[in-house]
Structures are given as C-alpha cells and as structure tokens.
Amino acid sequence: MNSFYRSFLGGRSGTVGLVVLSLLLLVVLPLSIDAFRLNMMGKYLSLAFVAIALVMCWGYGGIMSLGQGLFWGLGGYCMAAFLKLEAAANIAKEAGTDQIQALTTVGIPDFMDWNQITELPWFWYPFKSFPLTLALMIVIPTVIAYIVGVAMFKRRVGGVYFAIITQALCWAMEILFVTRQGWTGGINGITDLRTLLGWDIRTPDAQMTIYFLTCIGIIGCILFGRWLLNTKFGRLLLAVRDMEDRVRFSGYDVANIKTMVFCIAAAMSSIGGAFFVLNVGFMSPKLVTIEPSIYMVIFCAVGGRMSLIGAVYGTLIVSFGRTFFSEEFPALWYFLMGSVFILVTMVFPEGLAGAVNRFGPPLWNKIARLWRKKPPAAPAEEVKP
Amino acid sequence: MTAKITLILLLAGLGYSWEEIKGIAIMQGFAGLNLFAIFLLMALGLSVIFGQMKVINMAHGEFMTMGAYTTVLLSWLCETHAPGLLTWYFPVAMVAAFFVAGAVGFLTEWAIIRHLYKRPLDTLLATWGLSMIFQEAFRQIAGARETSATMPEWLMGSFQPFEGVDIPINGVFLLSACLVLTGLVVANLYYTRTGLRVRATVLNRDMAGAVGINTTMTDRMTFALGCGIAGVAGCAFTTVGSISPSAGGLYIVDTFMVVVFGGAGSIVGTILAAFGIAQAQSVLEFFLSGVLAKVFVLGAVVVILMIRPQGLIASKIRK
C-alpha cells in the first residue's frame, strides 16, 4: 500500500495535486460550464494526452519531438476510420442497395465515392472491427515510433536533429493525407461521424459521457506516467537526459531507453487523438501538421516540462486562451501568444508547475499561519500544484 | 545527374526530337537551379546561425520577409516620390534589407537569444514565439494581402540563348545574387578577421575568450549577419514572387532540412545539399505531382540522415 501511494500517487504533494485536478475536471467544470464549453474542454483534454506524453519524452527523456501531431493524428484517423465505416454501414442498412437514396456507392465512405473509388482499399478492412481498431490505434503509432526511434537513436541522432527530422516526417504525413484524397478524405479529412457501436455520439448526454471518459483517460495516463517515471526505467531516463555518455559507459543501451520512451509517448498521443475524434466528430489533416505539433510542445512548456499534472493545466490554459482571445481580440492574440512563448522559455523554464512549486509552499504556509492565528479569517485558497 | 540522363533518354523514347529534348533539359535544369537559388539563399543565413551557433532560429523566415517588405517599401517610396529612381533602387534595397534585418537580428540576440545559449532546444520555442509576433506585426502594418515590389525594367522579360529555350531574366538575377552572396559569406568567414573570430568562437569558446576575443560580441554579430543574409534573400525573392506576412514560414522546414542535410557548420555542405535537394525535387516534379515529389525528397533526406547523421560534410568540431 505504501509503495503504491509513493509510486502511483507521488507522495503527499502528488496526491493533493491529483485530487485537485480530478475534482476540477470531474466535478467543478461539469457543474459550472454549459455543454458546449464542456465539449470544448473535452477537445482540449484530448490534446493534453500529447502534453503528458511530451513531459515523459521531452521533460524527462530530453527527446524533443516536433512531430507528435503525427502520432496524435494516426490515433485520430484510426478511430475516425472505424466510425466512418460504421456510418457507411448504417447508410447501407437504411438505403438497402438503392444507390440513389444512399447518395453514394453503398457500403463505402462517401468521400471515396466522390473520388471515384468503388471498392474499399485493403488497409481499410481492419477498421471494420472495433477491437482491431483499438489494437491498431496503439500498434501503428508504436511501430512507426519504433522504426524512427531505432533508426535515429542507434545512429546517435538526437537533440535538434531529431526535432527537425520528426518535423519533416509530420509534414510528409500531412502531405500524404491531403493528396491521397480517395483514401483519407483529403484536406477535408473524415467528417460526419455519428455513432460508435450504435451509440449516437452527438447527443448532449453522449458528449457528457465522452467528456468523463476523456478525463478518466487523462488521469489514467498521469498515474501510468507517475508509475513509469518512478521505476528504474524512469531514473535511467533522467540519467540519459542529463549525462547520456555516462549511462552508455555504465553498460546500458541508451538507444533502447530512448526508443522505448518515444514509443510510449507515441501510443499515448494516439489515444488522445482517438478521444479527440469522439469529442468532435471529425478528423482533418490540418490538425496534425507542423503548427499544431509545435503547439503541443508549447502546452507542455507552459505547464511545466517536468510535471505531468502541469501539462494538463498548460494545455487547458493555452487552448482556452487561444479560443478566447482569437474570438475577442484576434490581432492581440498572436502578440500575446508570442510573448508567452518567449517569457516562458526565458523566465519560467519549469513552466507553471515550477512557479507553483516555488511560490506555492510559502503562500500556503502564510495562509495556514493566518488561519491558525484567527480562526474566523477568510477561508484558505486552494493551491494548485 | 543520372536522373537527368535517364529523363533525357525517356523523353527520346517518347518521340521528342533532339532539339526539343535539349530545350526541356535546359529549362528543367534551370527550374532546378532556380529552386537551388531559393534554398541556398534561405539556408545561407541559417547555416551561419544554426551551423555556427547551434541556435534554432524558427523566426528565420520572418527575417527574410522583413527584407522583402523593406524592398516593397522602398519601391513604393520611389514610385510615389521619385519615379526616376525606380530603375536603380534595387541595389539600394538589397543593402537596406541587409541592414534592417541585421539590426533586428542584433536586437533579438541581445534581448532573447543570449540568455538561451545553454539550452539550444529552448531557442526553438522562443523564436517560434518571435515569429508569431513578427507575422502579426507584418499583418498589422502591411496588410494581410500579398504585395509585390515594382521591378525595374531591366529585371523583366526573358532572353533566348537559342531556339526553343526561354530563360527568364529575374531567374538569372536570383541565381547570380545567390552566387555572389554565397561568395561574400564564404569570403567573410574564411578570409577576414571577423570570420576568424567567428570560427574561433565556434571551435572553442573558452579558448577564444582567453586569447582576447570578445565572444559575446562575436555571437551577436554572427546572429545579426545570419539575419541580414536572410534579409537580402527576402529582397532577392521579390524579383520572382509576391510576398505575404506568412510567406517566411513556408520555407522554414525546407531550409532546416537543407542545413541539417548538408552538415551543420559547413557552408560547402549547405551548398551541396541545396543543390541536391533542389535538383531532385525539380526532376521528380516532372514525373510526379509537386507535393508527392516533396514527400519523396523529405523521405530520402530522412533516410540519408539516418545513414549519415552528421550530414554530407561533417564539420570537425570538438564537442
């Protein structure tokens, strides 16, 4: 029990942080904001998966991936493919073999019909089965990450070079997805997704359920990350980041450690992509290209690159800020965002979590002291970790 | 080269006459050269900044845009106030672009970059933020629409060295500007005291400081030089295309690929890489659609980098 407490929950401060986050996500937000904003939160949270993955990969492992959108997108596309085939099957069920009523070739996604493809391509077949889709959602990004990781890390490509190469890969994938219109839906992506295993995902109730599922996924990822970073593997990871050569000279295979964490980050990002599709009901290549990938790194940097929980806050704050300011003050937004990037990297390299860790405990002590002195004083403010 | 020969043989097989093949080969080769000039112009400044200083300047494209807007501004000023100068404003614009972008680069180094030398990956985030600010500033000042500079007459039109071959003059100008600029950069780095100081600082910062080189100032001037080169590149681009606030961002990944592929820290590597990537892309574009050619080239570069992580020409820097 004690070791569980320490390794999963991260001791006292870790537990407090996790409880505050869970309360915020599962209780405060659903009670305080309307369904539309809550769905938006679900959308942001699906990006937080990537931010958590980047904390492990970049914060602890020192591997900056600028192409994390690639893996996020693959997960999203896997889920979207399954939902699209189900939508196509539903249309086929309603319309029978009547092509005019179905408005499309029966049984295949509508965008294929628009692109003069009359038969389902072979690689779409696995997505007819839900378990297989879930498996592929994890396997495809992991395998790609493994290939990239082995090829790069065995050759000791790292740091800046790795970042630029992942960026190029991400770009290449976007181009492929945009140009292979008949296979992927082109620039529009895969749209008009309605049901998951017969369950309408567009109703407010369903959206609420999906939001809670997303939150549970996030908390699960944080717990998993805590556990992993507390194992021997986590310590090695940190050692690789700080002094790669010494780890190598101690007899460890640095490339394997790096590849492993890169694969885990890829799989985690992919899960986030799948949740995104469930929350939003479409998938588009514009969401997986270079700029969104850089934003993902920014979420992580703002939240604190060494804090799994901070990454979630970072994602929520930056995404919410982006939506709010680009609606209200579109011109100001870019200046503000740009300054945030610069300020965070220069003044707060540890991000929000670093600031809270530095200023939080003294503030907490002060409040606690006030509390003890005169009991009927103002109630203590909650301090976010 | 083999690809070019194969292409020629293929065309011969398709029934083109020899004269036509010669024309296509020259024009296609020239298209590749044009792309080469664009890549090299962009990559030169980055090669100085990234190659020598290991700073990832994601705002490099915006320094280029800055140079281009300087040119547009000057052409507009000439047009409205002194139409007579319109013929010869362009060389002045080039110098102005260099100094405007260089000065902003100088300030950027002082304000941001110098605090981040110990954390190269973080320069990426900070300069990305900077590029957002620049882009929005261009949008506010110059408008979101594409603009272009008025070209002097001697830059327009094309000439025909022989029958069936049409070579645009602005393309030739771009190529020669690129070659001259490269020459100047190489000369500056390898044959002047300033270049010597830059190279000494890159090779061994502590030792360079110990023998009396002001490494802080050297870094600042190197960064400013890289940005200034980007500005000149932007000025040269106005001869072949229009400019928009987000134009710089389009080239940034390509440019980084060129520098990384060539081997960071090696100007010769950068030139070779720009040539290789540009020619490969233009030849592939003849067979495939433009975007697919891009995917192939990106894939090939990634694979080659896996085999040769240090790039085409490895620099001999002690780490």
Alpha-carbon span A193 to A284, nearest angstrom: 12
Q: Summarize the confidence of residues B268-274 as an average pLDDT.
A: 87
Chain B residues closer than 8 Å to A159 by CB: 120-121
What would the two tokens of residue A235 be? 């310590």
Single-letter amino acid code for the residue at B109: E
Do B305 and A161 contact (CB within 8 A), yes or no? yes
In a domain, A347, yes or no: no
CA distance, residue B46 to nearest chain A CA (Å): 14
Do B235 and B62 contact (CB within 8 A), yes or no? no
pLDDT at B87 over 90: no
pLDDT at B270 over 90: no
Mutate to test the interface with B, among A334, A335, A336 (most CBs of B within 10 A): A334
In a domain, A138, yes or no: yes
In a domain, A245, yes or no: yes
Q: Which of A157, A164, A334 sits opposite B132 (nearest CB)?
A: A334
Residue ranges of chain A whose CB lies within 8 Å of a chain B CB:
64, 66, 151-152, 155-157, 159-161, 163-165, 167-169, 171-172, 175-176, 178-179, 290, 294, 297-298, 301, 331, 334-335, 337-342, 344-346, 349
CA distance, residue A265 to nearest chain B CA (Å): 19
- Mean pLDDT score across all residues of chain B: 81
Alpha-carbon span B44 to B225, nearest angstrom: 10
Does A171 sit within 8 Å of B260, measured CB to CB? no
pLDDT of residue B98: 92
Measure CA B179 to chain center.
11
Chain A residues closer than 8 Å to B136 by CB: 331, 334-335, 338
Residue B244 exposed, middle or buried by CB count within 10 Å (0-12, 13-18, 19+): buried
Residue of A nearest to B139 (CA): A331
pLDDT tens for chain A, residues 1 to 385:
566 666 666 667 777 778 888 888 887 877 778 878 888 888 899 999 999 999 999 989 888 888 888 999 999 998 888 888 888 777 777 766 655 555 556 667 777 777 777 777 777 878 888 888 889 999 999 999 999 888 888 888 777 788 888 888 888 888 888 887 777 777 777 877 777 777 777 778 888 888 888 999 999 999 899 889 888 999 999 999 888 889 999 899 999 999 999 999 999 999 999 999 888 888 888 888 888 888 888 888 888 888 888 889 889 888 888 888 878 877 788 888 888 888 888 888 888 887 887 787 778 788 888 877 755 544 445 555 4
What would the two tokens of residue A47 be? 């990006």
CA distance, residue B284 to nearest chain A CA (Å): 15
Does A160 sit within 8 Å of B136, measured CB to CB? no
Single-letter amino acid code for the residue at A65: S
**Percent of chain A with pLDDT strictly greater than 90:** 15
In a domain, A330, yes or no: no
In a domain, A323, yes or no: no
Q: Domains of chain B: which residue ranges?
A: 27-144+170-307
Comparing B153 with B297, the larger pLDDT belongs to B297
Alpha-carbon span A146 to A151, nearest angstrom: 8
pLDDT of residue A142: 94
CA distance, residue A342 to nearest chain B CA (Å): 4
Q: Does domain B27-144+170-307 have CATH number 3.10.450?
A: no
Total of domains in chain A: 1
CA angle B133, B138, B139 (to 5 degrees): 95
Q: Which of A156, A168, A172 sits opposite B309 (nearest CB)?
A: A156
In a domain, A299, yes or no: no
**Percent of chain A with pLDDT strictly greater than 70:** 90
pLDDT of residue B4: 57
Residues contacting A338, CB < 8 A, separation 6+: B129, B130, B131, B132, B133, B136
Range of A53's domain? 2-285
Q: Where are the beta strands (DSSP E) in A329-377?
A: none
In a domain, A210, yes or no: yes
In a domain, A67, yes or no: yes
